[in-house]
Structures are given as C-alpha cells and as structure tokens.
Amino acid sequence: MSLVLDAEALYAELRRGIEQLLSHYPVSQTPYLVGVASGGVWLAERLQQDLGLQGRVGVLSSSMHRDDFAQRGLASNAQTKLPFDVNGAHLIVLDDVLYTGRTVRAVLNELFDYGRPASVKLAVLVDRGGRELPVAADIAVARVSLPADESLALARDAQGRFSLDVQKGKG
C-alpha cells in the first residue's frame, strides 16, 4: 500500500494553525514567516498571500550550516534572504517535512548569523519522525512513518497547488 497525502488539505490545516498562532500576538509584533528553502519558502509565500502579510516573508538556506555540507554541497537556488531586522522579531519558520532535525538545526544556526530573534516557532506540513536531534514542531499538520530509504517531497504545480510525493532511495 502506498502513502497518499492530500497536500492541499494539509495546507488548509497549516493555514488555520498559523492563523491561530498569529492571533496570540499584538499587531505591532506580528511574526515574520521564514521559509526553509525550497518547500518551506513555497508555504511561506502562499501563506503571505492568503493571510495578507505583505513584506513579512523571508528565506532561510541550510546550505552553509549543514553537517553534511561536504556530501551535499551548496544549493544554488537557496540563498538566505531576510528583508527585515531579525533582532527582537518574532519568527515562524516553515518547512514542508520534518525528519532528522538536522535541517532545522542548520537554519537556526543561519538565522542567528543575522541576529537574535525574540522568539522562533516551527511549523511543518508533515512530521515523519526519525529525529536524530531534539527538535519538535510547534505545528505539525500530519505525522507519518516512512522507511529510512524513502523521502517525502513537496511539489508545486504551475497554478501553485501543492502535492506530496514519496521518493525511493532518498531517506
């Protein structure tokens, strides 16, 4: 039996969770959305549009702080862009899939190169378990279990609709 996840339904749940989280902040302290390249960026961009959060989105790359940099190298399409002052800001880091926790560790290291935020929350579409580091999401819409030799990847079509695909050999 193959795993089938409705990424659009998961996105709708993520949006509700982010709306709820945002409601806990005064307007003057509305958090910035920071997407982890690339799936998290897609989520952040769509949430920005759907929630009317103009100018409140950034991008975090994990490339420079990965502990497997020698094997993976630098991703050419992923550069950190934080068009706001990180110091004292409230941030919601978005990613598509949480697995070992190593990407989150890397993007937090990258983030702190830019300053010291007041708070950082983590929101993900899917938590697939398998943690190697003590990392937990504040919002995880779905929890699934996959074999170590499979990965889950967020895709986006030309109309901006999301899908999730299981890929073999990329745990």
How much is the average pLDDT of 12-33? 97
DSSP codes, 55-94: T-EEEE--GGG-TTHHHH---TT---B--S--TT-EEEEE
Tell me, what's the pLDDT at 118? 98
pTM metric for this prediction: 0.92
Per-residue confidence band for 70, with pLDDT thresholds at 50, 70 and 90 = very low
Tell me, what's the pLDDT at 68? 60
| Structural domains of the chain ordered from first start | 7-168 (3.40.50.2020)
Measured CA to CA, the distance from residue 52 to residue 28 in angstroms comes to 15
Tell me, what's the pLDDT at 164? 95
Per-residue confidence band for 38, with pLDDT thresholds at 50, 70 and 90 = confident
Q: In terms of C-beta density within 10 A (0-12 exposed, 13-18 middle, 19 or more buried), how is residue 129 classed? A: exposed
Per-residue confidence band for 75, with pLDDT thresholds at 50, 70 and 90 = low
In sequence order, which residues have a C-beta less than 8 Å from that of residue 49 and are 6 or more positions away? none
Report whether 60 contacts 34 (CB < 8 A): yes
Least confident of 40-49, 69-78, 129-138: 69-78
Does position 77 have pLDDT exceeding 80, yes or no? no
Average pLDDT, the chain: 91
Closest to 168 in 3D by CA, of 145, 151, 153: 151
Closest to 123 in 3D by CA, of 8, 35, 3: 35
Report whether 166 contacts 150 (CB < 8 A): yes
Per-residue confidence band for 126, with pLDDT thresholds at 50, 70 and 90 = very high
